[in-house]
Structures are given as C-alpha cells and as structure tokens.
Amino acid sequence: MTMTARIQPAIVGASGYSGFEVTKLLLRHGQVKAPLLLAREDADHGKPFAEFYPQLNGNGTHSLEPFSWELLRARGVDVLFLATPHEVSREWAPEAAQRGIRVIDLSGAWRLREEQHRAVYGFRDQNDGFGARAVYGLPELHRPRIADAEVVANPGCYATSCILGLAPLVMNEVLELEHGVVCDAKSGVSGAGKQPTARTHFVEVAENFSAYSVFNHRHTGEIVEQLHLQDSQLTFTPHLLPIARGILSTIYVRLRAPMSEAEVLALFRDFYAESIFVRVFTPPRLPEVHYSTHTNYCDIGFALAPDRRRLIVVSCLDNLLKGASGQAVQNMNLMFGFAEQEALA
C-alpha cells in the first residue's frame, strides 16, 4: 500500500460518541475515501448523519446505511471500524477477517488474553483461538505488530492512560513492584458512552465526584496484562468527574533505588522518543485535563519525593481521542502505511 493510496473505511456505530469522533477524523483524512457509515438498528437506516449530530448539518452526502457483508464487498471496504457492543464485535470481527477486511475494534472483545480477565466481559473463550490473532492497539508499545495486523483491539481509555504512564518505569525495571502500584484515575462522563443511565444523568453527575467499579473495572486486566504485572501488584480505582471528556490518572509508585529527577525525566523521554503523541512534561509542570482534551496526545508528568524513591506520575488524555477514536485512526495509519499523525495533528 503506497502513501498515495486511497482506502475505503467503514464504521459500524457511527452515531455513538466514539463512532462520531472516528467519522470526523476520517472525513478530514487525506488518504482515505469518505467513510461508509453503517447502522445495526433498522430505525436508523437512511437517516442523514446530521440528524444525530446537527453540527454536521449541511453535509448531506452522509447517511446511515444498513449493515450487510454484501454492501461491504460491493463498496470495496478495506478496513472496518467496530464501535459496537462487545458481543457484536466478537461475532463480526472473525467474519470480517475471513473476508479479507482488516478490523479495528473499539470494544473490549479482543483486548484480553487471560481467562480470569476476560471473565469481566462474560467471555468463556477466545472464539476458537481467533483472539490470539488480535494485536493490542497501543502504538507506543506495539507499533511493528500493528502495522501487520489483520485485527486491532483498540485499548480502553483508562488503560491507555495508566499503561503509558507506567510503561517506561516497569519495562526499565526501576519499580519496587512488591510495594504495589496505585492508579487513581478520573474520567469525564462521555467515557460511559452515549446511552443514558441513572448514574450518568446530569443531576447525578453535576457538582459531584464519585468512585465506581472498585477492584472490578474492566480495564484493570488490560493494565496488568500489557505491563506483565501480577493482579496483586495493581490497585486501580476509577472515578467519575463532572466534565464531558478527559482523563487524569494519578499513579503512585516506589522506585527500587533512589533516582534523580533528571534520571527519571531521561527515562521517560528516551522511552517515548519515537512516539509523536506522547508529551513528557518537565518538572515541576504537571499535565492538566484541558491541555490534552480535543487532541490525540497523552501528556505525562511526574513529581519525585525528597527521598528520591517515592514517585507520582500524572497521565492525561482525551478519553474519546487518544483513549478511543484518535488512537483507532492512529492504528489505521500504521496498518496502511500512512503517516502516523495523518488527520490527528
């Protein structure tokens, strides 16, 4: 695939928050054709996309079409984005791969390897081994494998924030893991998806701040597996912020041996030297939610205690972009040989 090729993407679930963000990014992508927008629900077929998102009003060229494999074949679809429930992705991703269509799945269907972690989704197997073919779509860790992947499991938003904040420390073996790792993460309400619930109702969220899914959040397994931790070494607590979008993760760790601030900074910057979408802040500056919202950047900063062993890492990103749709398009760029930052920077 050459840099001048124009591929045909399709999106199932474009009317959701993540699907909408993918749609916006692909509509301004210089290397792809206008995305085919597909609906699973009969009631949505034929509706102008601007009916779901009036900010696109006036662009009458895009409407939701009923999903079918015949339609994907007729339109020559090269890559299928699944912004669908986990159960749907588990059914459709293997079928798409069998038909020669590459898949970027934004659900949790194919992210996990260990049975005890998959259990949080209710999955009893990996669909006859198909899951082993899916590549975990975190470019900063798996860039070469993503380029060759037929199926990419797009990471969870919390997991992306915590993994990127921890990876340089864990993989350079500078942490005292027996001391434990604490990830205290907060997300805006859009992380819960577009379908309203009593918990995400404005009256419940506004002027409030709450923890949820303590010790059983679905993204915990991703962090453990990708960093090769033991379950007992990680304490992950998610919180709901009364904001629309954004994640801030405060990560507490202990170093094996004393390090200087300059050494920690060099460790992070060396690790992410080739990663265009990770910005490492120089102390004492720390990331804040509004620095990274509406971008595909993950911002990372840290503070080192006077004892030079206690370290706090702060990792921020936009849960709908680097935590979901932006990362999905970043993965597509890698899969088809486009510039990694195409449509994202």
Residues 251-286 have pLDDT tens digits of 999 999 999 999 999 999 999 999 999 999 999 999
Which pTM value belongs to this model?
0.93
Rounded-to-integer distance, Cα 211 and Cα 332, Å: 34
Mean pLDDT by 10 residues, the chain (345 residues): 74 91 95 91 61 64 85 97 95 96 97 88 72 95 98 98 98 98 94 68 80 90 97 97 96 98 98 98 98 98 98 98 98 97 95
Pairing outcome for strands 234-240 and 247-254: unpaired
Maximum CA extent, the chain? 64
Contacts 24+ apart (CB under 8 A), 42-51: 42/66, 44/15, 49/14, 49/15, 49/23
Rounded-to-integer distance, Cα 167 and Cα 75, Å: 40
Rounded-to-integer distance, Cα 93 and Cα 174, Å: 38
Predicted confidence at residue 76, as pLDDT, reads 97
Per the CB < 8 A criterion, the answer to whether 161 and 216 are in contact is no
Predicted confidence at residue 40, as pLDDT, reads 79
Report the sign of the C-alpha dihedral through residues 166, 168, 169, 170, in that order.
positive
162 is a catalytic site residue: no
Name all domains of the chain by residue range, CATH numbers in brackets: 9-154+324-335 (3.40.50.720), 158-317 (3.30.360.10)
Per the CB < 8 A criterion, the answer to whether 75 and 8 are in contact is yes
Pairing outcome for strands 102-105 and 151-153: parallel
Cβ neighbors of 41 (< 8 A, separation 6 or more) are: none
What tokens does 163 get?
A: 């993994």
Query: Is-cis flag, bond preceding 258, omega within 30?
Result: no
Beta strands in 234-297 (DSSP E): 234-240, 247-254, 278-280
Write down the catalytic residue from 157, 162, 298, 316: 157
Rounded-to-integer distance, Cα 1 and Cα 3, Å: 7
φ/ψ of 162, rounded to 5, equals -75, -40
Q: In what order do the strands lie in the sheet with 36-39?
A: 65-66, 36-39, 9-12, 79-82, 102-105, 151-153, 134-136
CA atoms within 13 A on the CB side of 6: 9
Per the CB < 8 A criterion, the answer to whether 72 and 80 are in contact is yes
Beta strands in 166-233 (DSSP E): 181-187, 210-211
Q: At what angle do helices 220-227 and 157-171 cross, to 10 degrees?
A: 30
